[in-house]
Amino acid sequence: METPEQIKARLEAALPSAKIDVVTNDCAAGERSLLVDAASGLAVARFLRDDAQLKLDYCSNVTGIDWPDKELTEKIKVKQIVDGVEKEVEEVKKTLRPGFLEVVYHLYSMELKHGPVVLRLRTGNRADQTHVPSLTPLWRGAEFQEREVYDLYGVMFDGHPDLRRILMWDEFEGFPMRRDYIAPDDFEYEPTPHDEVLEAAKKHYPTEVKA
């Protein structure tokens, strides 16, 4: 199968308006993925499905990821004049990367027996720009999994035929898989609390055993 770079080059030739990046992965498997801007997500996905060399006709998995706001630190060498002598001084530059939500699709080809091609779509932020195009019109199997991502992460899929909660009940408020979700405090007695459970237990009753 083609490498992500080759796919990217062909995609850019076919769809000049699409912004595509190859996301590297530092882990042992080193699987790279295609990051596509949300606006051209549907067109790129259609290309991947219909292209004669790829024929990615099977969407095996849809996942959500929550990326909260992150402070990135960068060390830059700056020339400074210290005591009349020019010196190179290291300076730490901090930048805030605003958070976003990400949806990951794993695509395979049943016909050509290859894959996966990993496709990533990102939302603008985590509050009001949480829309990405739904790929359910292309791969019907993505329907329930996109509903699950909506249910647990709050990603709005434009063009989804039936976007409702699937695991939690309809009246539920909030998105439980987000990093900043705070579950209701319904702690109950634990015989042997430890770690986070111990911290929660301390709020409710004395955990020190009297000698």
Partner 1 sequence: MIEAGLKNELQKQGVYVTTLEDLYNWGRANSVWPLTFGLACCAIEMMAASMARFDLARFGAEVFRPSPRQADLMIVAGTVTKKMAPLVVRIYNQMPEPKYVIAMGACAISGGPFKQGYNVLKGVDRYLPVDVAIPGCPPRPEALIHAIMTLQEKILNQKLTGPDRARHLNADVPGEFLVPAYGKQDLEPSKNTEVWQPPAIQR
Options 173, 192, 194, 203; binder of partner 1; rule CB under 8 A? 173
Q: Determine if 179 is a binding residue for partner 1 (CB under 8 A).
A: no
Backbone phi, psi, residue 205, to 5°: -155, 160
Backbone phi, psi, residue 23, to 5°: -90, 125
Q: Determine if 124 is a binding residue for partner 1 (CB under 8 A).
A: no
Which positions from 2 to 41 touch partner 1 by CB under 8 A, shown as an x/- string? ----------------------------------------
Q: Determine if 211 is a binding residue for partner 1 (CB under 8 A).
A: no
Q: Determine if 192 is a binding residue for partner 1 (CB under 8 A).
A: no
Q: Which stretch binds partner 1 (CB under 8 A): 91-99, 102-110, 156-164, 173-181?
A: 173-181
Q: Determine if 205 is a binding residue for partner 1 (CB under 8 A).
A: yes
Given the complex with partner 1, which of 88 and 208 has the nearer CB atom? Answer: 208
Please identify which residue in the block is written with the tokens 């939302």: 123
* End-to-end CA, the chain: 68
148: closest CA among 128, 163, 170, 129? Answer: 163
Say how far apart CA 92 and CA 71 lie, in whole Å: 12
121: closest CA among 15, 53, 19? Answer: 19
Residue 158 structure tokens: 């434009």
Binding site for partner 1 (CB under 8 A): 167-174, 176, 181, 183-184, 186, 188-190, 196-197, 200, 205-206, 208-210
